[in-house]
Amino acid sequence: MALDIAILTDGNDRVGFGHVTRCLALYDAFEVCGHRPTLVINGDSTVLGLIANKRHVLFAWLANTQKTLRIIDNAAIIVVDSYAPDLSFYKLLSEDSVHIYIDDGNRTEYPKGIVVNGNIASRRLHYPDQKDMTYLLGHQYIILRRAFWNVAAKETKSTIGTILITFGGCDVKNMTPKILRALASSYPEATKRVIVGPGFSNIREIQSAADDKTSLIINPKDTTIREAMQEADVAISAGGQTLNELARMGVPTVAVSVVPNQMSHVQAWNEVGFADCVVWTKDKRTLNSVIHNVDKLRDKNTREERSKIGASCVDGLGAQRVAQFCAASYIADYVNIRTALPKDVIGVYELSNDRDVRENSLNSDSISLGQHTRWFAEKLHDQNSLFMVADLSGELIAQVRLEITNNTANTSLSVKNMYRRFGLGRLLLERAVFNLKTEHNEVDEIKAVIKPENDASIRLFTRFGFKCKRTTTINNKTVLEFFYDLTTARRELTDGI
């Protein structure tokens, strides 16, 4: 079942577009997982170029909460990436959905949900140990646009040939022309490339500051920005989302803290050794500091080291991790794991004939409906068969079956393709094993037979506590036999009580 996702954010030429680009990354990550995201943006026409071909609603969602609640009413997951709402707004959100709060600075108190802060300094913020709250903190949750998920390794050149200037979607402090003039004076031989976002109102001044080695990249696509970063030897950037993208690309950067809430982020990148930190002021000292820090990057070894540090901190998978964790949280909260019923015959049949399920089975032949129906009826009445399914809003999405022979239970587990990254296999195993512990005292061990090439199943069963004891051959196929010691597990359960 595809989940409906509502993503609330804001962006325009006054506040910038960092929140919007971050939410676009989450949009893509949810969509890749097979879900239906919709952007709800408090913004104006300047944001339209960024959200082309995306499901979106553009209006002042915080000022009209009744309309907002109607729009997001059916959402299984609600994401809020904005500095504007307070606790009273969050309390209006439906309790039937999972709430995700994108937070950059321990900004406010949140009700039940998931706080995501991928900033490199996020673990220093001392978030409260709050009941019913999960925290996804640290650089592994840095959310980047899809163009930055998979990138080529950076090659460090012997000299600074190209300098990239990028202050995101808008230049609210009019920094670009001032920095460009300073570079034209100090680095006349270098190519200067300037990213001009949709909110820039100073293009003419930038053009007048440009020398003959300067080119402007106006309203570029994500892939064009990635290519510009790939070609740059050094970058001068603001301290928001762009800085994370530059780290991903391994571009040594002079980071300028434009607004106060960027300062801790910029300082953290400075402390890990990736970026130099400059605080923007109106006097000439700021420009001198920028040029001084670019000068420090003339040394190839320095640039190479910083490039490696940045790339090692950001692997590009943060958006996918967040989307998968959020979907898994919804499934864990709302999935119904129960005993199989006669009505499940078709759902189990479709799951059993899934291509990957058949491929990983000892018998890879497809199963006819008639054959399956007879088998299914027998299993429902078999006292030595523990048969459970996972049901999400009426859709059968997984099954586990344990066949008891003497003191051993042989396990068979399968999960529908689009739900295989959400921890369902472990949930099913936990429930089935608990039932065996408490209701089948005659069973001492659980056995799983797995093909050597089925890496996902090997990881699942190994992490659960199964141990591979031998390799054997079944139906002329080499298989691994894993065992779980139920006697020890039952003793631990009794000791816990």
- The answer to whether 4-146+317-321 and 335-496 have equal CATH topology is no
Strands of the sheet containing 467-474, edge to edge, are: 336-339, 385-392, 395-405, 408-415, 445-450, 477-485, 467-474
CATH (one of 3.40.80.10, 3.40.640.10, 3.30.300.130, 3.40.630.30) for 335-496: 3.40.630.30
| pLDDT, average across residues 226-235 | 97
pLDDT at residue 182 is higher than 90: yes
State pLDDT tens for residues 434-462: 888 888 888 999 999 999 999 989 999 99
- Assign 398 a pLDDT band (cuts: 50, 70, 90): very high
Q: Nearest Cα to 92, choosing from 18, 35, 8? A: 8
State pLDDT tens for residues 74-90: 999 999 999 999 999 99
DSSP 221-278: -HHHHHHHHHH-SEEEEESSHHHHHHHHHT--EEEEE-SGGGHHHHHHHHHTTSEEEE
Please tell me the chain's helix, strand, coil percentages from 3-state DSSP, rounded to the nearest 5. 40, 25, 35
pLDDT at residue 497 is higher than 70: no
Residues of the chain with pLDDT > 70, as a percent, come to 98
Q: 4-146+317-321 domain in CATH 3.40.50.11190?
A: yes
pLDDT at residue 495 is higher than 80: no
Question: Could you tell me the two tokens for 412?
Answer: 């068979």
CATH topology classification for 152-313? Rossmann fold (3.40.50)
Q: What is the pLDDT of residue 489?
A: 67
Residues of the chain with pLDDT > 90, as a percent, come to 68
Q: What is the pLDDT of residue 492?
A: 63
The kind and range of the H/E element at 81 are strand 77-81
pTM: 0.78
State pLDDT tens for residues 22-55: 999 999 999 998 899 999 999 988 898 889 899 9
Residue 265 and residue 22 in contact, taking contact as beta carbons nearer than 8 Å: no
Q: What is the pLDDT of residue 341?
A: 95
Domain ranges for the chain: 4-146+317-321, 152-313, 335-496
